[in-house]
């Protein structure tokens, strides 16, 4: 029985249409990461004036290939096309949410971001629970900080994988849920262009 590999063309296609990048796109991402020794990743941070929050990094399959190639290049190693195909994986949007470092106020109190417990996506500006997109997989990542006075602070971040086939075209929002509240991050249609 013959199996045909699914093909997907990267040129001007939304993320959900490029679930598994084709070989040419993987080769281009490998070359870009190797040459630049850096990668272009969509980043979102806490809102101005907030003392707690998360820093987000949003990777499409080709962003992951480019970043893996950049890391290897900085170590004077080289990734092969096969390595790139493995890194591109099965076309998931990969979102990393790291809590920001604790902030000390003038009165001596510390503000530490509560640990993340879950992450979801919402299409556009929609806040309806029925429209929520659940991740395929979530990993909890502990974060710890210390200061010169011996203080220790703990929180936790998340790594979540969302199927690219479930991601709506256009803008969407990412919600990082903690025990006390949720943090929303808007990803505009313009931002989407950087998520490959």
Three state DSSP letters for the chain:
CCCCCCCCCCCCCCHHHCCCCCHHHHHHHHHHHHHHCCCCCEEECCCCCCCCCEEEEEECHHHHHHHHHHHHHHCCCCCCHHHHHHHHCCCEEEEEEEECCCEECCCCCEECCCCEEEEEEEECCCCCHHHCECCCEEEEEEEEEECCCCCEEEEEEEEEEEEHHHCCCCCEEEEEEECCCEEEEEECHHHHCCCC
Q: What total number of domains does the chain contain?
A: 1
Does 163 reside within a domain? Answer: yes
Domain hosting residue 40, numbered range = 15-143+152-192
The answer to whether residue 2 is domain-embedded is: no
Structural domain contains residue 156: yes
In a domain, residue 57? The reply is yes
Domain assignment present for 52: yes
pLDDT reported for residue 168: 82
Q: Is residue 114 assigned to a domain?
A: yes
Residue 132 placed within a domain: yes
Could you list the pLDDT tens digit for every one of the 196 residues in the chain? 333 333 333 333 444 445 677 778 888 888 888 888 877 777 887 655 667 889 999 998 888 888 888 888 899 988 888 777 676 667 889 999 999 988 888 888 888 999 999 999 998 877 777 889 999 999 999 999 988 888 899 999 999 999 988 888 889 999 999 988 999 999 998 888 888 8
Q: Answer whether residue 97 is part of any domain.
A: yes
């Amino acid at each position: 029985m013959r199996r045909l590999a699914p093909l997907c063309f990267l040129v001007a296609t939304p993320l959900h249409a490029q679930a598994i990048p084709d070989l040419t796109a993987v080769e281009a991402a490998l070359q870009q990461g190797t040459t630049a020794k850096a990668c272009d990743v969509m980043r979102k941070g806490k809102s101005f004036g907030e003392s707690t929050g998360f820093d987000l990094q949003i990777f499409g399959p080709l962003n992951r290939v480019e970043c893996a190639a950049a890391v290897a290049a900085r170590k004077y190693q080289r990734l092969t096309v096969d390595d790139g195909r493995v890194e591109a994986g099965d076309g998931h949007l990969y979102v990393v949410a790291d809590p920001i470092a604790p902030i000390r106020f003038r009165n001596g109190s510390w503000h530490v971001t509560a640990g993340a417990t879950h992450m979801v996506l919402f299409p556009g500006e929609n806040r309806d629970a029925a429209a929520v997109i659940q991740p395929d997989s979530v990993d909890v990542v502990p974060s710890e900080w210390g200061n010169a006075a011996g203080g220790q602070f703990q929180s936790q971040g998340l790594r979540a994988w969302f199927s690219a086939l479930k991601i709506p075209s256009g803008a969407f929002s990412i919600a990082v849920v903690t025990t006390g509240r949720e943090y929303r991050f808007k990803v505009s249609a313009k931002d989407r262009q950087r998520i490959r």
